[in-house]
Amino acid sequence: MVDQELHRGLEDIAVAETRLSTIDGEAGELIIGGYPVEELAKNALYEESVFLLFNDRLPTKSELESFRTELAGYRKISEEIKQVLRQAARENADAMDALRMGVAAANLGFDSTESTDHAKRLVSVIPTIVTTYWRYRSGKEPVEPRDDLGHTANYLYMLSGEEPDPAAVRGLETYLNTVVDHGLNASTFVARSIASSDSDLVSAVTGAVGSLKGPLHGGAPGPVLEMLLVAHESDDPEGYVQEKLDAGERLMGFGHRVYRTRDPRAEVLSRAAERLYSGSGDRAFFGFVEEFEETAVSRLSDHKPDRKLETNVEFYTAVLLYGVGIPQELFTTTFAVSRVGGWVAHCLEQAADNKIIRPVSIYVGDHNRSWTPAENR
Ligand code: COA
């Protein structure tokens, strides 16, 4: 018997069991692979977070070393992929579109029948795709990956061609660990759905990139930064927020489908951003950001008293990535640099106990129409 109750946006519907992460939206808690996000984010290397998702435990020291070496070995991309990215940059394609094209071509020059190899390869290759596109887009030649650098440091190195600042590496590493997985969010659901038809990982990640691109999902941090810079310039955060809400606009970086409290990732990222800005001397901008957040949450509560609209992850993502020196155009692609770990882990988990994901829809169209030939319509 088909359940004819409509669940718009599949809200509150469970379609999979997972050991990867869980969210308590009322308590504001996020657990990744058994660890509270607060603990994992500040301590782990990104490679450790990915190993945790793949193996349901942290690696030993020697396992970590070999995992890092293995990932580093998958970083290079073929000339064919570079060509796709060069063309995307030449045509001023959006960074997420370029990433989608690059990921779709990720099999070129890579041959393996093992899905775990493809999983590691996808984790490794996304930073190279993003930075190669960005270098072409900036009129520069790509920087080849270095085997002696960790995953996060190498990403920054390939972006600028310069030795990365350790404080920026730690800030970015904290970000990558924080957003590596987050339950069955929209893009992870897309990846799992594609995997559930026994399709391949490249297809699943290509679809997930498309989903992440939307401003209601991973596309929010760019607009958050724009909003903060304009409000900072105006020196009137209160007036700015009120004007937006009066115009019926949404404040980017606030509200969430699951959390009814402040997103725990906002706290982790705000602490990381505070450390970074204090070190770089721009503590004043960080102070403005905190003031803006307080104003926005208070105005949102007047605006929608029956719906708790609190700070979400994207607000401090924008602040932290700006401080790290990631170009605004690459905020969402940097989200993908992290989330790919969750996407592929979910696909492997789905494959291990698969049932094709196939919900139902409720038909609201007409019945019993009778055919009229085209010339009579
Ligand atoms: N600013 C102003 N109003 C907001 C808001 C925001 N950031 N987020 C939600 N609302 C309002 C909606 O307008 C809606 O009001 P209505 O019932 O009068 O139409 C109500 O709150 C419920 O919003 P809804 O879109 O139904 O909630 P959702 O669970 O489907 O959506 C988000 C969640 C994240 C998509 C939504 O909060 C949003 O658009 N936020 C801004 C974008 C953003 O930061 N995205 C990153 C998410 S991590």
CB-side neighbour CA atoms (13 Å) of 29: 8
pLDDT per residue of the chain (377 residues) written in tens, 0 to 9: 566 799 999 988 999 999 999 999 999 999 999 999 999 999 999 999 999 999 999 999 999 999 999 999 999 999 999 999 999 999 999 999 999 999 999 988 888 889 999 999 999 999 999 999 999 999 999 999 999 999 999 999 999 999 999 999 999 999 999 999 999 999 999 999 999 999 999 999 999 999 999 988 888 899 999 999 999 999 888 999 999 999 999 999 999 988 989 999 999 999 999 999 998 778 899 999 999 999 999 999 999 999 989 999 999 999 999 999 999 999 999 999 999 999 999 999 999 999 999 999 999 999 999 999 999 99
Dig out the tokens for 156 from the structure: 């920054």
Per the domain annotation, does 291 fall within a domain? yes
Residue pair 343/179 in contact by the 8 Å Cβ criterion: no
Are 184 and 37 members of one domain?
yes
Helix (H, G, I), strand (E, B) or coil at 311: strand
Per the domain annotation, does 372 fall within a domain? no
Q: What is the CATH number of the domain that holds 33?
A: 1.10.580.10
Closest CA to 151 of 212, 209, 73, 97: 73
pTM of the model: 0.94
Task: Kindly give the interhelix angle for 151-160 and 166-178, rounded to the nearest 10 degrees.
Answer: 120
Pocket of ligand 1 contains residue 255 by CB under 6 Å = yes
Per the domain annotation, does 110 fall within a domain? yes
The residues with which 32 forms a beta bridge, in sequence order, are 21, 35
- Return contacts of 157-160, CB within 8 angstroms, 24+ apart: 158/127, 158/128, 158/131, 158/132, 159/131, 159/134, 159/135, 159/326, 159/330, 160/325
CB-side neighbour CA atoms (13 Å) of 350: 28
Q: Is 256 a catalytic residue?
A: yes
Are 253 and 194 members of one domain?
no
> What is the per-residue pLDDT for 228?
96
Per the domain annotation, does 176 fall within a domain? yes
186: CA distance to ligand 1 center in Å?
15
Are 175 and 195 members of one domain?
yes
Atom of ligand 1 nearest to the CA of 250: 1
Are 58 and 89 members of one domain?
yes
Dig out the tokens for 178 from the structure: 């924080």
Q: Is 7 a catalytic residue?
A: no
Q: Tokens 């029948």 label which residue?
A: 113
Are 60 and 200 members of one domain?
yes
Per the domain annotation, does 8 fall within a domain? no
**Which helix H or strand E contains 24, and what residues bound it?**
strand 21-24
Are 228 and 206 members of one domain?
no
> What is the per-residue pLDDT for 4?
79
Are 132 and 252 members of one domain?
no
Are 320 and 345 members of one domain?
no
Per the domain annotation, does 15 fall within a domain? no
**Which helix H or strand E contains 65, and what residues bound it?**
helix 61-73
Specify the amino acid at residue 180.
V
> What is the per-residue pLDDT for 257?
84
Most informative mutation of 242, 304, 317, 332 for ligand 1 (most atoms within 8 A of CB): 304
> What is the per-residue pLDDT for 28?
93
Are 98 and 140 members of one domain?
yes
> What is the per-residue pLDDT for 215?
83
Q: Which DSSP category does 26 fall into?
A: T
| Rounded Cα–Cα distance for residues 47 and 203 (Å) | 23
Contacts with 242 (C-beta within 8 Å, 6 or more apart), sequence order: 299
Are 202 and 275 members of one domain?
no
User: Based on the structure, what is the number of domains in the chain?
Assistant: 2
Q: In what order do the strands lie in the sheet with 21-24?
A: 21-24, 29-32, 35-36
Are 135 and 242 members of one domain?
no
> What is the per-residue pLDDT for 2?
61
Q: What is the CATH number of the domain that holds 227?
A: 1.10.230.10
Pocket of ligand 1 contains residue 249 by CB under 6 Å = no
Range of the domain at 178: 29-210+339-352
Pocket of ligand 1 contains residue 251 by CB under 6 Å = yes
Closest CA to 58 of 49, 67, 71, 66: 49
> Which phi and psi angles does 30 have, rounded to 5°?
-130, 125
Per the domain annotation, does 364 fall within a domain? no
Residues present in the chain in total = 377
256: CA distance to ligand 1 center in Å?
7
Per the domain annotation, does 359 fall within a domain? no
Are 183 and 226 members of one domain?
no
> What is the per-residue pLDDT for 110?
83
Pocket of ligand 1 contains residue 224 by CB under 6 Å = no
> What is the per-residue pLDDT for 112?
84
